[in-house]
A and B are shown apart, each in its own frame.
Chain A
Amino acid sequence: MIINHPILGPRDAAEFTYLGDASLLNRPDWQAADAADQFYEYLYLRDNPAGEHRELWYHEQGDRSWLVVTRNTLTHEISSVELASDVARAQGNKK
């Protein structure tokens, strides 16, 4: 597979390390009343879709960017690649 890195251009997927569903960006609030349940769902439950999947890849043998890759799990076709930090900021992850 080839991942079109937003900064570096197309790179072989073998340069990357895969983590999983991009929902791992949505780390819950530790002080929420149901924090235990929220953390359980956050860490363990997955949509695991057959089709479009937003997922985290790390450019381990490259610039060490975390990327959010949108890839079809049936065809492996990649439709978008974004810097995870941009996605995280856009959804309100701050400090």
Chain B
Amino acid sequence: MRFSGFKVIKEALMGHKGWGPQWRNPEPKSHYDIIIIGGGGHGLATAYYLAKEFGQKNIAVLEKGWIGGGNVGRNTTIIRSNYLLDGNEPFYEFSLKLWEGLEQDFNYNAMVSQRGILNLIHSDGQRDAFMRRGNGMILNGADAEYLTADQIRAENPFLNFDDARFPIKGGLAQRRGGTVRHDAVAWGYARGADQRGVDIIQNCEVTGLRIENGVCKGVETSRGFIGANKVGSCVAGSSSRIMAHANIRLPIESHVLQAFVSEGLKPTIPGVITFGAGHFYVSQSDKGGLVFGGDIDGYNTYAQRGNLPTVEDVCESGMAIMPMIGRSRMLRMWGGVMDMSMDGSPIIDKTHIDGLYFNGGWCYGGFKATPASGWCYAHLLAKDEPHKVATAYRLDRFKRGYMIDEKGMGAQPNLH
């Protein structure tokens, strides 16, 4: 069934009887060509592209709970490709291009909204670094624009220009950045994958990996053993727990990032704004809520909740940069657990075990990467070689000294 305005009108007139399940609830088969562990955004995108772009027919996505319940269900919805390093920028630009055609591709309105993203600059050193970044973005085929403080003020008169502890000295804008209705991404990929024959199996927890003679034969699950030629882990946030079944230790720690939404407000903030002298970024959803966040709490955790010091730090930063939000109210706070990697960049690679593949380490940048991560992981799973924009995302890069460290923080995950 194709979605369209015409279909919506037709169904409204026919009593909405024609809407079917957006994806099925199949029983697991005993064997698949490819099993993806994790029904989050990346796992569902991988299955979708495997079926649609790489001709795979026999695929299952196994999800412990309900699909889209991980970070695709709890992020702050931002898409952008404003990366500094050549190991990252082409990948994220590929992702942004996929976002730009995604809704027509999978026939689901995920409300991809290219409202623009603006990184504020507060010091000369920051300006120099953002100039390097912006130039690198353009050289990689992305868009970037340097804005002066006056230009920023014209577009965002509500920012703190007159009483700032750290004055705004300029900003780097990416007009093609923006926001997406996050849940719809999971659902759109799920529906698209399901339509192409992918079995999406919810409430199916992977409890073990069956490895014989260095070859992965399938997965043990809460619903029994399921065989597979290839198994791909795609469970950022819980990567270490899944890979421990294969006795693989990862360059990853699990951390919580909190996110916040205000009560609904009439249009207030045009695009995405990040504060360069504190931990705060914000956008406004189509529904009117200010969606914002800051830094991770900073300690290892698997609990999807955080603590007050970070909450207050984020809100203090918010008040510092836009004091006009003082009388808006925070409606809800929540946390998402993420794979924080040792250089702040992700991993998409084979493991040393035949038939076992790994996708993780997305830190808090996983949402914007969803389409490209799915595509590149599908490429790897189908062809056994990395996609050209994901060649740097190797597991052995730390051993060999090829870190992709955007922030320059080294092997300390909570600083990335």
Q: Which residues of A contact B (CB under 8 A)?
A: 1, 12-14, 18-21, 37, 40-41, 43-50, 53, 55, 71, 73-76
Contacts and interface: CB of A to CB of B under 8 A. Distances in A.
A44 B302 contact: no
Nearest to B398: A44
Interface of B: 238, 240-241, 244, 249-254, 298-303, 307, 309, 342, 398-399, 411-414
B411 A50 contact: no
Which 5 pairs between the two chains have the least Cβ-Cβ distance? A48-B240, A14-B309, A45-B249, A44-B251, A44-B398
Contacts of B307: 1, 13
A18 B307 CA distance: 14
Contacts of B309: 12-14
Contacts of A12: 309
A73 B412 contact: no
Contacts of B303: 73-76
B342 A55 contact: no
Contact of A18 (B249, B254, B298): B298
Contact of A20 (B249, B253, B399): B253
B251 A73 contact: no
Given A14-B309, A20-B412, A40 B398 contact: yes
Given A20-B413, A44-B342, A55 B251 contact: no
A73 B413 contact: no
B249 A46 contact: yes
B252 A48 contact: yes
A44 B411 contact: yes
Given A1-B299, A21-B300, A47-B244, 17 more contacts: A12-B309, A20-B413, A37-B399, A40-B398, A43-B398, A43-B411, A44-B398, A46-B240, A46-B253, A47-B240, A48-B240, A48-B254, A50-B238, A50-B240, A55-B300, A71-B299, A76-B301
B230 to A, nearest CB: 24
17 contacts: A1-B307, A12-B309, A18-B414, A20-B414, A40-B399, A44-B342, A44-B399, A45-B249, A46-B249, A46-B250, A46-B251, A50-B238, A53-B300, A73-B301, A73-B303, A74-B303, A75-B303
B363 to A, nearest CB: 14
Contacts of A50: 238, 240-241, 254, 302
A1 B300 CA distance: 13
Contacts of B254: 48, 50, 73
A75 B298 CA distance: 15
A20 B254 CA distance: 11
Contacts, number: 70
B302 A73 contact: yes
Contact of A74 (B240, B302, B411, B414): B302
Contact of A46 (B238, B252, B299, B399): B252
Contacts of B412: 19-20
Nearest to B312: A14
Contacts of B398: 40, 43-44
Given A53-B300, A73-B301, A74-B302, A48 B253 contact: yes
Most chain B CB atoms below 10 A, which of A1, A12, A48 = A48
Nearest to A46: B253
Nearest to B308: A14
Contacts of B399: 37, 40, 44
A1 B249 CA distance: 28
Contacts of A14: 309
A18 B240 contact: no
Contacts of A18: 298-299, 414
A45 B250 contact: yes
Contacts of A44: 251, 342, 398-399, 411
Contacts of B300: 20-21, 48, 53, 55, 73
Nearest to B301: A73
Contacts of B302: 50, 73-74
B251 A45 contact: yes
Contacts of B298: 18
B405 to A, nearest CB: 12
B410 to A, nearest CB: 9
Nearest to A43: B411
A35 to B, nearest CB: 13
A50 B264 CA distance: 36
A26 B343 CA distance: 21
A11 to B, nearest CB: 13
